[in-house]
Chain A
Amino acid sequence: MHVTRGFTGRPRVPDAGLPPGQYDAGDDWPVLSAEVTPDLAPADWTFRVDGLVEEPRTWDWTQAHELPASAYEGDIHCVTSWSKFGVRFGGVSLDAFFNVVRPHVSATHVVAYSHTGYTTNLPLEDVTGGRAWIAWEYDGRPLPAEHGGPARLLVPHLYFWKSAKWIAGLRLLDHDEPGFWEQNGYHARGNPWEEQRYSGD
């Protein structure tokens, strides 16, 4: 790749937390959803886990809050090139939901889907072992609707399109099925450290 004449770029701030091709968005938290932000009250929110599990189950807002609280403090990375450092989400680890439904050994992937119908696919191992949450708090406050409130999926080690807003459920599968952006040319896994933005990266 050639050098762009006269381009210097912003001052270099070495940051081991910044994946390749990303920049620090600072205090900004851009909203990039492709659909109309739904008018979804906590009382109307439900979260279901089914597919290749022993005991499919649906939680409502109150039942989900009875599971052990878990927090994420760290960074998030959007495929459009911004990263945001030191964010704090509160919710419940997905492991707590999986402990109830008990995935079959044949389950390898999940499709996460939203109350809007948005979908995204993930390997099961990316959403187990303390790496994924159902989050309903941001910075100690209720998660705003435009950021996926009342509750969203949070998988912070992958590009943020995987962290489905207005999360409605997970379907466990024995194969990978591309979700909304993945059918629109985005990478199947979306690891920011490997810069897996688009299919073929």
Chain B
Amino acid sequence: MTDTFAPTTRFAVPGRIAVSNRAAAVWQTATLTEIRRETPHASTFRFAVPGWTGHLAGQHLMLRLRAEDGYVAQRHYSIASHPDDAGHVELTLDHVEGGEVSGWFHTVAEPGDEVEVRGPLSGFFAWPGDRPALLLGAGSGVVPLMSMLRQHRARDLSVPLRLVVSARSPEELIYAREYGAETTAVFTRSAPHGVPVGRMAAAHVEPLLAEQPAGGWEAYVCGSNGFAEHASRLLVEAGQPVDRIRIERFG
């Protein structure tokens, strides 16, 4: 199509991943098979979804629960598992205070329970594993980034990947046992002995941007809006182009 309208304004977040609209339109039964405690406030829920068509690291799905009177609650959740885990997806959910869906997962759900999901959804935050990936996450914002890290490992990719993850304390750091040399953890309230306490800062981001792998970094930022604003500003100030920053905000 040569006559497609494109604004003269700079396109900040090019979506480059085609999404299967058919997969996104169909609700499927997901059977809970395993619950793993990650932190005092977060657990991972593993589901068997036999008809799952697969996803890309970074994508999310929509999940719904139904009460006996027909009331339905639905939420978007980032997918934590890597794309090669055929027929399965994993979600890592915070126990949100007063949250009707996360509350059910953390206090009622047990293996064998069935919920419904549709997806995978949205292509803009997906990472197909082709470009160097610079990942900044906070709290449960690390979930879609972990999908990318797991894919990087499962496929033994040579393209660079770096993760800077922020948590309140070591106890609140989701996936703490899984991180390797690619990851820097930042603690905002309490830290292990010898590790400074504080917000993610230019000192964490600048050395990574100084590396500049071939083709440059594709940056992915995920977390609360407050974190996303802060982290994306750090990236811009350190020289990362705005059209190479993809942001997923929780809300």
Binding site for B on A (CB under 8 A): 1-10, 12, 21, 23, 28, 30-38, 51, 80-82, 111, 113-119, 146, 168-169, 171, 173, 177, 180, 183-185, 197-201
Contacts and interface: CB of A to CB of B under 8 A. Distances in A.
Interface stretch (B41-49, B112-120, B151-159, B176-184): B112-120
Contacts of A33: 247, 249
Given A1-B27, A180-B124, 6 more contacts: A7-B65, A30-B225, A35-B242, A51-B5, A199-B21, A200-B24
Contacts of A21: 72, 74
A79 to B, nearest CB: 9
A198 B21 contact: yes
Contact of B251 (A7, A32, A117): A32
Given A23-B73, A36-B232, A200-B24, A173 B251 contact: no
Contacts of A30: 225, 249-251
Contact of A173 (B5, B228, B232): B5
A1 B66 CA distance: 8
A114 B13 contact: no
Scoring A2, A33, A184 by chain B CB atoms within 10 A of each residue's CB, the highest score goes to A184
B246 A4 contact: no
Nearest to B75: A81
A2 B29 CA distance: 9
21 contacts: A3-B67, A4-B113, A4-B114, A5-B113, A5-B114, A7-B65, A12-B71, A32-B251, A33-B247, A33-B249, A35-B12, A80-B76, A81-B75, A81-B76, A118-B12, A119-B7, A180-B15, A184-B15, A184-B17, A184-B124, A185-B121
B12 A117 contact: yes
A173 B6 CA distance: 12
B123 interface: yes
B66 A2 contact: yes
Interface in B16-40: 17, 19-22, 24-25, 27, 29
Given A119-B7, A199-B24, A185 B251 contact: no
B10 A117 contact: yes
Interface size class of B (residues with CB under 8 A): 35 or more
A117 B114 contact: no
Interface of B: 4-5, 7, 9-13, 15, 17, 19-22, 24-25, 27, 29, 62, 64-69, 71-76, 98, 100, 104, 108-109, 113-116, 118, 121-125, 225, 228-229, 232-233, 235-236, 242-243, 245-251
Nearest to B26: A200
A147 to B, nearest CB: 10
Nearest to B20: A185
Contact of A146 (B20, B71, B75, B225): B225
A200 B22 contact: yes
Contacts of B11: 117
B109 to A, nearest CB: 8
B114 A2 contact: yes
Closest 9 CB pairs of A and B: A30-B251, A200-B25, A117-B11, A113-B7, A185-B19, A35-B12, A199-B21, A31-B225, A116-B12
A192 to B, nearest CB: 13
Contacts of B236: 36
Scoring B9, B66, B75 by chain A CB atoms within 10 A of each residue's CB, the highest score goes to B9
Contact of A9 (B73, B116, B125): B73
